[in-house]
Every structure is written in structure tokens, then in C-alpha cells.
Copies of this chain bind each other. A is one copy, B any other.
Amino acid sequence: MKTAIVGGGVIGGGWASRFLLNGWDVSVFDPDSQSERKMQNMLSNARRSLPSLYDFKLPDEGKLYFCDNLEEAVKNVEWIQESVPERLEIKQEVYKEIQKYCKKDTILASSTSGFKPSELNEGATRPEQILVCHPFNPVYLLPLAEVVPSNKTDPLIVKECSKLLNQIGMKPLLIRKEIDAHIADRLIEAIWREALWLVHDDIATTSEVDDAMKYAMGLRYALMGVFEHMRLAGGEQGMHHFIKQFGPCLKWPWTKLMDVPELTDEFVNKIASQSDDQAQGRSIQELEKSRDDTLVGILRALRKTERAAGKTINSHNHSIDKNFLFKDKLIETVNRQIPQTWTDVNGHMNETNYLEVCSQATDKFMEMIGMDVDFIKSTNESYFTVETHIRHVNEAREGMKIIAKTQVLEGKGKKLRLFHILETDKGVIVATGEHMLLHVSLKTRSSCFPSEKIEKNLLKYAEEHSSLPWPEGAGRAVGQSK
């Protein structure tokens, strides 16, 4: 399969990347001399991120051709994606030119965020192959594409376009009635205008507007959109009741932009029944549970990159970290609740997360001997795990409190051998983890001796634990009979 990208800016480059990484060949036409460089940059971003969404290898990357003229780019391709500047007369000119060379059944799609397909196809030789296919930046990561046919677009072209969008991992949203700016950009613009007023009137800075968005509604919008969220806000009394009650508030002088549709019975019924269809019979309780599980996942993802709400949680997380030693000299290296996002099809904590807990315990121990993240970054020294053995003794489930008790089995020279006992707060052992680590230089990526300070701190625990009995299961191989 082959696509032609006409106009290779941020949007055209995003399309090219998505097609290429899904195995399509791509030919590009853009008179800008910088176009090839910019597209290669974008492609290297995309190579890093798009495959990261999947658990399987994407098809082998397609071939990328930069063409000297439009004809070379658009002949004999299955799809032509136009992303030239947002000026109607330019776009109309480009379509006339493209249609001189392209096949009759090629999809001829525009990335326009504003124009209607019936405007784009004015004066075109074959309006039936033209439609809007409007993506969002970064095109290689965000799945939405608004598909907007004119009343002259061949239904087969619409169908084929939607099918192929699915094949490159996108979500086609068919817009049945063409309007300026389609759907998504109308919502974006509504927000954008209100945001400009807030800054204009010195109510808030751009940073405060962004905070207001990303610490609350942004988190909800990523999973629910506008109406699904309103359904939950309405609670058990349902959507009809909610709109009736809430509607009049919209008439209050709260924003600069005031015109609100009349809430006739008919209109209220329409919203309520469409919202019922969306819920597919799920109760408010089920919707709330799913919402919470997803928010937990999103928030934990934001923690990873220290972005937006993730920052707040990280600093709170830090503030609740505590050190604790048990009477038997073992160290409490983990004390936490098992998140619901760790549950798998077997109804208990996935094996991966047992190691995640052990890994947290190891990190905590390293921190206690002075090897925290700041130390690692400033000295370029760390420990690498070279071997791990996990025994599953009992099932750990969502919501359980889990504690790790850590014993140093060996801590001398380059070697560090740790044994973690994972138990519930009721004292039931659920698993053990045994780990051999080597002290390494992050520069040479080879083992080396730790600094005096680390060695001394480690030795203190190693000596203290040398009198403890050898823990059950330590030194055991998989499947060993006793």
C-alpha cells in the first residue's frame, strides 16, 4: 500500500510517520527545502513512541520517497493526504492539479481543520473522491480522525477511508453533517476563547489556566469526554433529571459567551436518550468503578514523567515515605496497598507486579545505604540486578496491604544479595524474592567496587544480618524438589 503526502509540515509529517510505521510506502511532495529534514526529525520521534503503545512488533517500516514534483508523488497511490496551508484557494488549486495525475479511485483526503469538503471540491474534476480526514497533533500518537464527506463524496471512498484508518490504528469519527471546523475544533475553540478572556482580564495567567485544566477536567476528558462525565455528575437520578436541573445555570452570566440552546422538553429528552445509549445499560456504580480504575492508571502514568497531576502525587508520595526496622533486625522496605491496576485475568496481582514490589524494596534498601536517585545521578554509580528468584506462596489481591521485610544475605565487594519476604499486614507470606546485584559504573557499564561510604553503610546491615537464620527458599532453583 502506498500513500502520497502533499504538504509535509507538522501534520503531513505526522501522517507520513503513522503510515510508514504501519508498513505503508509513502511519497512526499513539499516545495519547502526544509521539509525533508523536518520530516526525518518527526519520524525519529514517531519511531520512539508509536511502537511503544503496542505489545507486538508493528509491520516492517515502509519506504519513504521525497518527490520533485506532484505528479511523481500522487500517481499510483491508494491514498493522497493533503496538508497544505489553510487557504481555500490554495487547496482548490492543489486538488485540480492532483486530479490530473491520480487514479480515479484513490482516496483524496484533506487535513483541513476548518473547511467543509463541499468548499474544497469546488471546481474539482472529480468531487466524488474528495473528503476531509482531519487528524490531531501528534498524528502518530493521537488516534482521532474526523472523516467528513460532502454530499458528492462516493460512499465507497468514505468506507474505504474508515477501513484504512482502522488499519493504521486510528479511530475514524464520521461527521454526518458538514460544518465549519467539524466537531472537535469547535470544542477546542470554545475553550480557547474562554481561556483568552481569562488571561485578557487578568483573572489568571496562562499557567493558571493550564493548571485548572490539567489537574481536574483534563484527567476526566481523556477517558469520558463531555456527556459521559455529566452522566456521572448527575448520579443515580439520571441524565434527564440532571439536564433539567443543571440547564438553567448555563444562563447565568458566568462567561463572556452566552448564547445557550433553549432547553425544550424535546431537547432534554434527546440528550438523555443519547446518553442512555452510550451507557449501554451500565449502572452509575459500574461507571464510577471503571472511571476510578482508569483515573488511577492515568495518574500513575503521569507520575512516571513528573507531568501535571503526577507531580502533585509524587511530592505527596515522597512525604509519606517512612523508614522502619523490625525487632528481628529485618528492614521494612515496602508498606503499601496493592493498586487495582495490578490485577490480571486470574483475579490476583500479576506476577510482574510481585517483582515490582521486590524492585521497590531493593530501591528502598539502596536508598538506606545512601544510594538514592540523586546519588546515582551525581556519581554515575549504581547497582544492577543480575539474577532474581521469586517464589509465589499465597495469592496477593487488589486492595491488600503488602509489606516487604528485607534481609541482606551478602554485602561485600561488588556483590549485594538481598532477600525480600512479601507478606500481608496480617503476617501471611505471599511471596519471597531473592536478588543478586552487582555494583557498576554507569559510564563503563561494567562492575566496579563501591565507594567507601556505600561500602561502610552496606556492611553495617550485612553484619547485623549475618547472625540471622538462612531464610526458607533462599538459594533455591526453580523446580528443585526440596
Q: Report whether A144 and B212 are in contact in the complex, using a CB–CB cutoff of 8 Å.
A: yes
A291 CA to B308 CA in the complex, in Å?
11
Which residues of chain B are near A267, meaning CB under 8 Å?
A: 199-200
Q: Report whether B214 and A198 are in contact in the complex, using a CB–CB cutoff of 8 Å.
A: no
- Tell me the minimal C-beta distance from A359 to chain B in angstroms: 5
Which residues of chain B are near A169, meaning CB under 8 Å?
A: 312-313, 316
A167 CA to B193 CA in the complex, in Å?
34
- Tell me the minimal C-beta distance from A378 to chain B in angstroms: 12
Question: Which residues 32-85 of A have a CB within 8 angstroms of B?
Answer: 45, 47-49, 51-59
Which residues of chain B are near A434, meaning CB under 8 Å?
A: 478
Partner among B191, B298, B395 whose Cβ is within 8 Å of the Cβ of A301: B298
Q: Which of A122-130, A383-391, A459-467 contacts B (4 or more CB under 8 A)?
A: A383-391
* A138 interface residue (CB < 8 Å to B): yes
Question: Which residues 136-195 of A have a CB within 8 angstroms of B?
Answer: 136-138, 141-144, 146, 166-167, 169-171, 173, 175-177, 179-181, 183-195
Partner among B166, B194, B345 whose Cβ is within 8 Å of the Cβ of A190: B194
- Tell me the minimal C-beta distance from A316 to chain B in angstroms: 4
Which residues of chain B are near A430, meaning CB under 8 Å?
A: none
Partner among B184, B202, B337, B477 whose Cβ is within 8 Å of the Cβ of A476: B477
Partner among B221, B387, B417 whose Cβ is within 8 Å of the Cβ of A217: B221
Partner among B204, B301, B475 whose Cβ is within 8 Å of the Cβ of A294: B301
Total number of A residues with any Cβ neighbor in B under 8 Å: 184
Q: Report whether B341 and A351 are in contact in the complex, using a CB–CB cutoff of 8 Å.
A: no
* A447 interface residue (CB < 8 Å to B): no
- Tell me the minimal C-beta distance from A40 to chain B in angstroms: 13
* A454 interface residue (CB < 8 Å to B): no
Q: Report whether B195 and A351 are in contact in the complex, using a CB–CB cutoff of 8 Å.
A: no
* A215 interface residue (CB < 8 Å to B): yes
A250 CA to B335 CA in the complex, in Å?
52
* A340 interface residue (CB < 8 Å to B): yes
* A233 interface residue (CB < 8 Å to B): yes
| 25 residue pairs from A and B, CB less than 8 Å apart | A10-B235, A52-B341, A53-B300, A53-B339, A136-B217, A138-B295, A169-B313, A181-B252, A183-B203, A186-B198, A189-B194, A189-B254, A192-B226, A206-B278, A207-B274, A218-B225, A294-B302, A294-B304, A345-B376, A350-B359, A352-B359, A384-B392, A387-B390, A388-B390, A389-B478
